[in-house]
Copies of this chain bind each other. A is one copy, B any other.
Amino acid sequence: MLEVVNLECQRGDRCLFSELSFTLQRGELIHLHGHNGSGKTTLLRALCGLILPTSGEIRWQGSAIDSLREEFAANVTYIGHKGAIKGGLTALENLQIASRLDGFAITEEHAWRALERIGLRGFEDLPTRVLSQGQKRRVALARLLVNRAPLWVLDEPFVALDRAAVGLLQGVIADHVANAGMVMLTTHQEVSLTTGEVRQLQLGVGALGHA
């Protein structure tokens, strides 16, 4: 579904990766590995169309993503190092607006349930500015609970979460993969991603391993 062909990304005068090719099918999860600075974030952002690769092509259902633009955007959910949370809005408002921007409106009811599930009960009505680091991450990740996009691109989603939240998120990701979703993620933490087909992709050592 998502095809990467001969991708190359340069930053400054450092070539992060080149001749990178792989495909991501429905029901698959790719776990991207690599040491700090090996280009994981860069690759994920390029996959979403946020960065223009130096050369190579990224295809969605066969056509290049820069020709698809908004059409492709409707199919991706990206959660990066930054949470895209507005400190002045409440968790509830943040979630509702985020999913509207993702292209589908959700009811307040639905949003409440998602927030409760992710462990923010009692914090829905505070401006997110005052929440703790981990709670802010949870608000950002709540998007995944109400989301319908097939492709999830997650850049270190487990950072700052406590153990309970990590467990919950693992479950959510596994469900998505089981429901024929596609996930591409990176994390330095040891988490077990076992459901569905999990493939490992290694950056930064010149090697490209499948498992």
Q: A188 near B: Cβ within 8 Å?
A: yes
Task: Determine whether the beta carbon of A160 is less than 8 Å from that of B11.
Answer: no
The proximity string for A residues 12-45 relative to B, scoring 1 for CB distances below 8 Å and 0 otherwise, is 1000000000000000000000111111110000
A11-B130, A133-B41, A160-B188 known; A36 vs B81 contact (CB < 8 Å): no
A127: min CB distance to chain B, Å: 10
Instruction: With both chains docked as a complex, state the minimum distance between the C-beta of A145 and any C-beta of chain B, in angstroms.
Output: 16
Residue from the set A34, A138, A160 with the largest chain B CB neighbour count within 10 Å: A160
The answer to whether the Cβ of A105 comes within 8 Å of any Cβ in the partner chain is no
Which of A56-64, A69-77, A146-154, A161-169 lies at the binding interface? A161-169
Is A159 positioned at the interface, with any CB of B under 8 Å from its CB? Answer: yes
Copies in the complex: 2
Which listed residue (B12, B160, B162) contacts A159, Cβ 8 A?
A: B160
Min C-beta distance of A41 to chain B, whole Å: 6
Contact A133 B162 (CB under 8 A): no
Question: Is A90 part of the binding interface, using a Cβ–Cβ cutoff of 8 Å?
Answer: no
> A133 near B81 (CB under 8 angstroms)?
yes
Provide the bound-state CA to CA distance between A110 and B189, in Å: 31
Whether, in the assembled complex, A126 has its beta carbon less than 8 Å from a beta carbon of chain B, the answer is: yes
Please report the C-alpha to C-alpha distance between residue A189 and residue B165 in the assembled complex, in whole angstroms: 12
Indicate if A123 sits at the interface (CB-CB under 8 A): yes
Q: Are A160 and B156 in contact (CB under 8 A)?
A: yes
Q: Which residues of A contact B (CB under 8 A)?
A: 11-12, 34-41, 81, 119, 123, 126, 130-135, 137-138, 156, 159-166, 188-190
> Can you name 14 A-B pairs with beta carbons within 8 Å?
A12-B126, A12-B130, A36-B137, A36-B160, A36-B165, A37-B123, A37-B134, A38-B132, A41-B132, A41-B133, A81-B133, A134-B188, A159-B160, A190-B190
Q: A36-B162, A36-B165, A39-B132 are in contact. List 18 more A-B contacts (CB 8 A).
A: A35-B134, A35-B162, A35-B164, A36-B133, A36-B138, A36-B160, A37-B123, A37-B135, A41-B132, A41-B133, A81-B133, A133-B156, A134-B188, A156-B160, A160-B188, A162-B188, A163-B188, A190-B190
